[in-house]
Structure 1
Amino acid sequence: MALTLTWTDEQDEYSISHELIARLEELLRLAGSAEQVKDGEVALTFVDDEAIRELNKQYRGIDKPTDVLSFSMLEMTEDELTIVFGDEEFADDDFAPDAGHDEAEDEEEGESYEEPLGDIVISVPRAIAQAQEYGHSIERELGFLFVHGFLHLIGYDHNTEEEEKAMFSRQEDILQQAGLTR
Structure 2
Amino acid sequence: MDLEVYDETNSVPADKLELVTNILNFAGKYIHLPENTEMSVTLMDNEHIHEINKQYRGVDKPTDVISFAIEEDNPDEVPIILPDDADFVLPKNIGDIMISMDKVKEQAAFLGHSEDRELGFLAVHGFLHLNGYDHMKAADEKVMFGLQKEILDAYGLKRE
Structure-1-length-normalised TM-score: 0.76
Letter in 2 for 1:22: E
Distance 2:139 2:82 in 1: 44
Distance 1:101 1:130 in 2: 50
SS of the aligned residue for 1:91 comes to coil
Segments of structure 2 that go 5 or more residues without pairing to the other structure are: none
Cα 1:44–1:103 change in 2 (3 A) is farther
Cα 1:101–1:125 change in 2 (3 A) is farther
Segments of structure 1 that go 5 or more residues without pairing to the other structure are: 77-81, 83-89
Cα 1:159–1:113 change in 2 (3 A) is same
The answer (yes or no) to whether the contact 2:8–2:43 under 8 Å persists in 1 is yes
The answer (yes or no) to whether the contact 1:103–1:113 under 8 Å persists in 2 is no
The equivalent of 1:179 in structure 2 is 156
Correspondence for 2:120 among 129, 132, 143: 143
Residue 168 of structure 1: how far off its partner (Å): 1.0
The equivalent of 1:35 in structure 2 is 31
The equivalent of 1:170 in structure 2 is 147
Residue 117 of structure 1: how far off its partner (Å): 0.9
SS of the aligned residue for 2:12 comes to coil
Task: Give the percent of matched residue pairs that are identical in Structure 1 and Structure 2.
Answer: 42
1:72 and 2:49 aligned = no
Distance 1:103 1:180 in 2: 45
SS of the aligned residue for 2:50 comes to helix
- Structure with the greater alpha carbon radius of gyration: 1
Cα 1:173–1:62 change in 2 (3 A) is same
Cα 1:100–1:164 change in 2 (3 A) is closer
SS of the aligned residue for 1:69 comes to strand
Superposition map of 1:103-142 within 5 A:
104-105=86-87, 114-142=91-119
The answer (yes or no) to whether the contact 1:9–1:16 under 8 Å persists in 2 is no
Residue 62 of structure 1: how far off its partner (Å): 0.8
Cα 1:63–1:75 change in 2 (3 A) is farther
1:8 and 2:12 aligned = no
Deviations 1:15-53 (A, max 9, x none): 231x33332222223222232212311110011111111
Letter in 2 for 1:46: L
Cα 1:104–1:160 change in 2 (3 A) is same
Distance 2:108 2:83 in 1: 46
Letter in 2 for 1:9: D
SS of the aligned residue for 1:156 comes to coil
Residue 173 of structure 1: how far off its partner (Å): 0.7
SS of the aligned residue for 2:124 comes to helix
The number of residue pairs the alignment matches comes to 158
Output the aligned Cα RMSD: 2.4
